[in-house]
């Protein structure tokens, strides 16, 4: 009898949150898992690799080495990401560029690196981990929403480009979840920035972000989101987009059917709690 085929998976952002839990669950399913993150940390049974996903040459070199070692790459979970908050006007250029480098280009670089191997074997699945903040522009998290919206656009275009090669591309958009992502968010708020020495320029920023963070801390556990990501990754023909959580599927459906003016106004009112 021939040796059973071992499926090979790469997970970015593997040291914590969704990525860590996805790695655990893929190992339990029998995958050979490689976890890439800035911190060389991953669950037992996972080969942990330290890298900055925004460094294209580093990502490509790692993927090439995995392919040489294993002979194939079956699954990419492009999950690495970061968060920033603050008004658009007061967000420094380096901060807005950094979040695009990590959240957008970091996922694109990983996909570009695995595609030659998936094309050659005429199979593979790429799962981009995005956010409900992609279709819904979040006030005071504009650049986070922009980075995730860009991920969605590239993923959906890529889905059609590589269909003929037997490669599946899909996006999972989590809602609020209780992970270390909340505490790691970098804030560029207007504390101390005054309008003519009188009032803060954006007095609603702190309360809006605090409200978001409260929702996140009370959100679903990362292992539940990871279970959805893994289930989607294992589908023979995954749909283009998935939203985690019934509440968020309803909210997104309402957002999409309302007139844009009304939908955007309601989002603003929601974060003025």
Q: What is the CATH number of the domain that holds 36?
A: 3.40.50.720
Please give the pLDDT value at position 199.
Answer: 60
The total number of structural domains in the chain stands at 1
Please give the pLDDT value at position 209.
Answer: 92
- Residue 24, domain member (yes or no): yes
Please, are residues 122 and 115 in contact by the beta-carbon 8 Å criterion? no
Please give the pLDDT value at position 269.
Answer: 85
- Residue 93, domain member (yes or no): yes
- Residue 68, domain member (yes or no): yes
Nearest to 25 by CA among 92, 66, 79, 83: 79
Please give the pLDDT value at position 1.
Answer: 46
Sheet architecture: strand order including 32-37: 46-50, 32-37, 8-12, 75-78, 124-129, 167-173, 241-243
pLDDT digits (tens, 9 = 90+) for 203-239: 889 989 998 899 889 999 999 999 999 999 999 999 9
Could you give the residue numbers annotated as active site? 15, 130, 144, 148
- Residue 167, domain member (yes or no): yes
Between 2 and 83, residue with greater pLDDT: 83
pLDDT digits (tens, 9 = 90+) for 28-77: 999 999 999 999 888 999 999 999 999 999 999 999 999 999 999 999 99
| Overall pTM > 0.95 | no
The residue-averaged pLDDT of 75-88 equals: 96
pLDDT digits (tens, 9 = 90+) for 178-187: 998 899 999 9
- Residue 54, domain member (yes or no): yes
C-alpha span between 20 and 33 (Å, rounded): 11
Query: What is the DSSP track for 177-208?
Result: B-STHHHHPEE---TT-EETTTEES-TTHHHH
C-alpha span between 32 and 27 (Å, rounded): 7
Please, are residues 176 and 238 in contact by the beta-carbon 8 Å criterion? no
Tally Cβ neighbours within 10 Å of residue 30: 10
Between 201 and 160, residue with greater pLDDT: 160
Please give the pLDDT value at position 41.
Answer: 86
Domain housing 252? 8-270
pLDDT digits (tens, 9 = 90+) for 185-205: 999 997 555 555 556 789 889
pLDDT band at 4 (very low <50, low <70, confident <90, very high): low
Q: pLDDT averaged over the chain?
A: 93
- Residue 237, domain member (yes or no): yes
Please give the pLDDT value at position 196.
Answer: 54
- Residue 227, domain member (yes or no): yes
- Residue 180, domain member (yes or no): yes
Please give the pLDDT value at position 137.
Answer: 94
């Amino acid at each position: 009898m021939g040796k059973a085929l071992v499926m090979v998976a790469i997970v970015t952002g593997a040291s914590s949150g969704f990525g860590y839990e996805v790695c655990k669950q893929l190992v339990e399913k029998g995958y050979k898992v490689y976890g890439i993150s800035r911190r060389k940390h991953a669950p037992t049974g996972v080969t942990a690799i330290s890298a900055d996903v925004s460094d294209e040459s580093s990502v490509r070199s790692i993927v090439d080495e995995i392919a040489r070692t294993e002979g194939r790459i079956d699954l990419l979970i492009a999950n690495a990401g970061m968060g920033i908050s603050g008004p658009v006007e007061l967000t420094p250029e380096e901060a807005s560029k950094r979040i695009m480098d990590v959240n957008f280009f970091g996922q694109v670089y990983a996909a570009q690196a695995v595609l030659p191997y998936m094309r050659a074997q005429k199979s593979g699945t790429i799962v981009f981990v995005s956010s409900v903040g992609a279709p819904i522009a979040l006030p005071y998290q504009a650049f986070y929403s922009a980075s995730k919206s860009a991920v969605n656009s590239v993923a959906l275009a890529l889905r059609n480009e590589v269909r003929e090669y037997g490669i599946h591309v899909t996006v999972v958009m989590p809602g609020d979840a209780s992970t270390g992502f909340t505490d790691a968010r970098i804030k560029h708020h207007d504390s101390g920035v005054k309008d003519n020495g009188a009032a803060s320029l954006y007095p609603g920023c702190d309360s809006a972000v605090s409200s978001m963070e409260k929702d996140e801390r009370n959100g679903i556990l990362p292992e539940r989101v990871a279970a959805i990501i893994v289930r989607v990754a294992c589908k023979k023909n995954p749909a283009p987009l998935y939203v985690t959580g019934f509440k968020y599927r309803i909210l997104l459906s309402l957002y999409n059917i309302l007139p844009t003016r009304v939908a955007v106004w309601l989002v603003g009112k929601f974060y003025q709690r």
